[in-house]
Amino acid sequence: MAVKPIVTYPADVLETPAEPVTAFDKSLKKLLGDMYDTMLEFDGVGLAAPQIGVLKRVAVVDIGDETGKIELINPKVIAQRGEQIGPEGCLSFPGLYGEVKRSDYVKVRALNRHGKPFTIQADGFLARALLHEIDHLDGILFTSKVMRYYDEEELEEMEG
Ligand SMILES: [Zn+2]
């Protein structure tokens, strides 16, 4: 598998709805592997296929908790409730962090790499990461949801 260059804003591919996956073949497995390697290389907690220039409904999420790596193909949010307001960034917007309101709980149905359906429920930061990546597949960027951006001083404090 390979680390791919990340597409940064502005780019049409980031604002175009992605196509559903129909073939669960070797190229899909390679795409998933490349996406995960790329996410880790750039210290992300999630990556959507359009961020490496592929307009397919594929995302990977790994926030470093006990859930581990989540591979989402053709994901759909089937339930969400509550709200959380917190900091959010994106590998396609290096250095940019803003405060974004998201649902606090989410239930997502998706296919795995073999084409088998599964559901995942999450709350807190994992729910935020899932919703951020699923937005990417619809060409929706977090900047359209930012309530306010953090300034440099606040960013330094967050980084410790
Ligand atoms: Zn993003």
Look up the domain containing 84 and give its range.
12-159
The CATH number assigned to the domain holding 128 equals 3.90.45.10
The set of residues, in sequence order, having a beta carbon less than 8 Å from that of 142 and lying 6+ positions away, is 88, 89, 90, 93, 98, 100, 132, 135
Cα 116 to middle of ligand 1, angstroms = 25
Number of domains in the chain: 1
Q: Is 153 marked active-site? A: no
Cα 151 to middle of ligand 1, angstroms = 19
Query: Would you say residue 120 lies in a domain?
Result: yes
Query: Would you say residue 1 lies in a domain?
Result: no
Catalytic: which of 15, 41, 133, 156? 133
Share of residues in the chain with pLDDT > 90 (%): 93
Q: Tell me the pTM.
A: 0.97
Peptide bond into 10 cis (omega under 30): yes
Query: Would you say residue 7 lies in a domain?
Result: no
Q: Are 143 and 126 in contact (CB under 8 A)?
A: no
136 is in an annotated binding site: yes
Query: Would you say residue 151 lies in a domain?
Result: yes
Q: What is the mean pLDDT of residues 55-77?
A: 97
Q: What is the mean pLDDT of residues 53-69?
A: 97
Share of residues in the chain with pLDDT > 70 (%): 99
> CA-to-CA distance for 93 and 51, rounded, in angstroms?
11
Query: Would you say residue 4 lies in a domain?
Result: no
Give the pLDDT of residue 160: 66
Query: Would you say residue 145 lies in a domain?
Result: yes
Cα 11 to middle of ligand 1, angstroms = 13
3-state secondary structure of 100: strand
Query: Would you say residue 3 lies in a domain?
Result: no
